[in-house]
Each structure stands twice: as structure tokens, then as C-alpha cells.
Amino acid sequence: MRKRLISTILVWAMMFLSANGVVFAENISEFKDEVAYAKLFLQVQGYGENSISNPVKLYNFDEEVEAVCFTVNNSGYIIINVNDLEVPEYALEVANPFSDEKERIIYNGPLAYYIKENGKIKNLKTKATVNGKAIAFKYKREKIDKKKKITETETLTISLQSTFYETGSLNNTLRTFASSHFCGVDGSAI
């Protein structure tokens, strides 16, 4: 009896929240390629292994999913375009700007965030209403073969990791060069 009461309350709460426009985090399995590329991208940038979670769909002005924003290591975010895996912005020490947003987000490129509220487009940061037709630049990328791009980036990562370099120190000082030539020639000799 008690379980039935609790499940009924949960169902009613979910119906109430969804009717009021609350957006729940998307299913991360829907974005396997984007997650793989985000991890690879951050690794190539020198940030090592990272936890990628909490995807939020970002739409373009044509109301199509254009990008997805992930939380990185519970403290940062990365935006990946779903069409070509471009990374228009990321920050590892700034919280996901969309984690608390309850409206459908229109993403128009780096730091250009909008929401559609009561048929009007508003800038997410300033809350000012804007004329969508007056916006000259509309962020929209062409689709590419994402698997191919991931494979190419993995190949690049492997070649970067296998680059040989040495570390050490000098036992003696470098020879001092002094000539009647200008310092550029001396510098080249060193």
C-alpha cells in the first residue's frame, strides 16, 4: 500500500513538472560520438582523462538540435556540435551555463545563448527580447562523417603520444659567441 502511494505521488510529480516545462537532462547514450570526441579533444589539449556527463541539447534558429553541452568533471563544460563535432567553446573551471535552464536553448555560436519564451526570443544573459530575423549570423554546421573524424583524431593523438623527446640538464655553460656581426647571426650560431 505504501509503495503504491509513493509511486502514485512520483507519477503525479513528474506529470506536473513536465507540464510546467521543466527539462530533464538528456540521455547520455544518445550522444556516444559526441562523448567520445569530447574526451578525445580534451586529451589532445593535454587535460588527460575526464568525466563527461549531463548532456543538454542546444538548438539552432531552425529549431533543430545543433549542439550538445556536457558537464566536464562536475566543474566545467564543453559544447560539441552534433553535425561536425566542432568544439565552439569549453571551460574546465566554469560551470555548465545551461544546467539550471528550464527552457529550450537556442545556441548561436560561442557565448550567444537565447531562449524562446512566449513566442519571443530572449538573450539568455541579458533577458532582452531580440528580433530573431534581425540576427545576421545563424550558427549552423554541415553534417560530416563523425566516425571518420574520431578515427582521424585518435590517429593524431597516438602519433603525438609517440613523439620522442629528451629531458636533462647541461653540465657546462653554452659557449659565448662574439663577433663583429649583428646579434641575429650570433644567435643563429648558438
The answer to the question of residue 177 being in a domain is: no
Domain count, the chain: 1
| 79 phi/psi in degrees, rounded to 5 | -110, 125
The answer to the question of residue 161 being in a domain is: no
The answer to the question of residue 62 being in a domain is: yes
The answer to the question of residue 15 being in a domain is: no
Give 155 or 71, the one with higher predicted confidence: 71
Residue type, 99: S
Helix ranges (H only) for the chain are: 2-19, 32-44, 146-161, 183-189
The answer to the question of residue 178 being in a domain is: no
pLDDT of residue 11: 41
The answer to the question of residue 45 being in a domain is: yes
Which of these, 47, 44, 49, lies nearest to 163 by C-alpha position?
Answer: 44
Whole-model pTM?
Answer: 0.68
The tens digit of pLDDT for each residue in 107-156 reads: 999 999 999 888 888 998 888 898 877 788 888 898 989 899 888 888 87
The answer to the question of residue 150 being in a domain is: yes
- Structural domain that includes position 35: 27-155
The answer to the question of residue 105 being in a domain is: yes
The segment with the largest mean pLDDT, out of 29-43, 95-109, 153-167, is 29-43
Contact 98, 106 (CB under 8 A): no
